């Protein structure tokens, strides 16, 4: 297949691009390298350096005419979305629509969209929650991701798109960026390896569902191979507190450094975990990587990486 991977120089996107290349697909990566790294792009893939909102991106789609759009490019930081909702919407909603319109014109009808679980559901009524849980996003980032899912439903009904929206839990693993405020596993690992003292916001009792990037890659490949349509959670169903996570990373690093605690971030979600049994029933997906194993692999990556 001809597959266009937007954000394919980034953390999750480059790992997915690797998997498509390994399948023998013809892969083009579309990435403006604002956060991605050219070194992450598979050698067998072609890199096109464009913002997804640009005429250059439209030209790539018109020329390449992909069979599949695997859409990961986004403004990823929830806190940035709160600080500048209009910018977040311009990238995540308007940018996505420009891609979909270009794909419609080019004849592309198959879309894999990287959505979000926790940010769409908001504070959950049940733990873990499945896809029938009310959608109550409390950040512009979550609102934007949900809006794109709804737009894809529109494109499916009106133009025959076949779209899979994968609602990720908190993804971690090799190539995750330790810079900025997103990506707590990478941030903690890099700081500990550098001999610095990590900071935990609040008491650290807030929980998340941490899913290894290799499992997320497999979910994307299965969604394509099983020709799935609709929205699917991708997570482990296991809640891990930030304090528990920090202790596990500290163990993987071999450090005895204790974290500092800072004031809690206003509006931060307290608990999040996703039930991925629908994806298991429909595609045979089940996460394979235990947290301790995934953290060791992530720490090993940072030991030898210059990121």
* Cβ count within 10 A of residue 232: 25
pLDDT (tens digit per residue) in 112-166: 999 999 899 999 999 999 999 999 999 999 999 999 999 999 999 999 999 999 9
What's the DSSP call for residue 207? E
pTM: 0.97
Q: Does 246 participate in catalysis according to the annotation? A: no
**Of 50, 27, 274, 55, residue with least CA distance to 168:** 274
From the candidates 121, 141, 155, 168, give the one annotated as an active-site residue.
141
Which residues 6+ apart lie within 8 Å of 152 measured at CB? 100, 111, 113, 161, 163, 165
pLDDT (tens digit per residue) in 43-96: 999 999 999 999 999 999 999 999 999 999 999 888 899 999 999 999 999 999
Whole-number Å distance between alpha carbons of 202 and 200: 6
């Amino acid at each position: 297949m001809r597959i266009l991977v937007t954000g394919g120089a980034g953390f999750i996107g480059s790992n997915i691009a690797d998997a498509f290349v390994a399948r023998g697909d013809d892969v083009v990566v579309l990435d403006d390298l604002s956060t991605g790294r050219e070194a992450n792009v598979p050698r067998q893939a072609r890199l096109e350096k464009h913002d997804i909102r640009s005429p250059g991106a439209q030209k790539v789609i018109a020329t390449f005419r992909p069979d599949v759009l695997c859409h990961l490019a986004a403004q990823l930081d929830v806190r940035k979305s709160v600080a500048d909702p209009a910018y977040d919407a311009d990238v995540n909603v308007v940018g996505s629509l420009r891609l979909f319109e270009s794909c419609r014109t080019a004849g592309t009808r198959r879309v894999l969209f990287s959505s979000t679980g926790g940010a769409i559901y908001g504070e959950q009524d049940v733990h873990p929650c499945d896809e029938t849980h009310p959608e109550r996003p409390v950040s512009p980032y979550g609102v934007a991701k949900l809006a794109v899912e709804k737009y894809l439903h529109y494109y499916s009904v009106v133009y025959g798109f076949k779209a899979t929206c994968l609602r990720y839990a908190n993804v971690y693993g090799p190539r995750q960026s330790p810079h900025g405020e997103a990506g707590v596993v990478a941030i903690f690992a890099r700081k500990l390896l550098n001999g610095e003292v990590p900071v935990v916001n609040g008491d650290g009792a807030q929980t998340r569902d941490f899913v290894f990037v290799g499992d997320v890659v497999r979910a994307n490949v299965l969604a394509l191979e099983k020709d799935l349509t609709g929205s699917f959670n991708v997570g482990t169903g296991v809640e891990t507190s930030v304090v528990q996570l920090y202790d596990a990373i500290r163990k993987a690093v071999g450090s005895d450094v204790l974290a500092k605690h800072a004031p809690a971030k206003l509006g931060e979600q307290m608990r999040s975990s996703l039930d991925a049994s629908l994806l298991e029933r429909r595609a045979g997906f089940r996460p394979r990587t235990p947290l301790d194993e995934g953290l060791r692999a992530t720490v090993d990556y940072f030991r030898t990486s210059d990121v």
